[in-house]
Structure 1
């Protein structure tokens, strides 16, 4: 048993759903492309932490510095997540988001280890400052393009999902 479908009504319903969804993806992409202030603040905090590791602090000073670093990064995460106008459901994070996070950690950590080893082996003055500068620069250069790469397929994936639902007759209202 089939029911007649009004093509004009179906098209209007599709547009009613698609237009707000496009605005959501436009906002997500805008957030990934703009406002590099959070990246620079995070890099500056990381620079201060890595530079302070070269001060030969006692054990309690090291732990205090580490606690302050984690606290400042946590507060930055809270402040910037509250500023975001869009809250993504966990299903909107793709494998690219997790790959970006893991690759960023590996790249930044590897840069810290490599720069520290090179600065020590070459007996450069102020090796912790050199390590901090190189690590912060790599972080800034990696984060922007990586965020854009991680967010870019969200719109295409959503459109493919709606096309699949339309073919199978599923409604997502």
Structure 2
């Protein structure tokens, strides 16, 4: 996948060392987009940081988002002048930030941005994600114009889901790269 940069977009509180994103960073040399504040994420700040990272290199990028990173991609794509630098996006476990039980740190991620993405995307959804009902996540993916893959009952598709290096996810990313 050397034709495109792989940019990892973790969610709220970042991805820990056993998370598949961290494993991909170590195994494949993918680049994590570091945010200035992982605990009180501000949508506008995260969007500006993604633009900043994309502008550091002329190579096209593939975005690999987990959880709140999916909401970042949708909001960023609606406003950025640099969407042409993105070749595709793998969106994993998008949370429903409009739920009443969302922590106050995530309230500024309301409303959920639902533009049709201007690049190919695949959204991977767990049937028992505690942060977003499968029906709501499927509707978000549909609004984004994203293909949907149901991963079955795998929780939040994170380290606790037992995905390890998650080769199935890497295959989905390879499919995006080849489009």
TM-score (norm 1): 0.28
The structure carrying a bigger helix percent of its residues is 1
Question: Higher strand fraction: Structure 1 or Structure 2?
Answer: 2
Flag the structure with larger Rg. Answer: 1
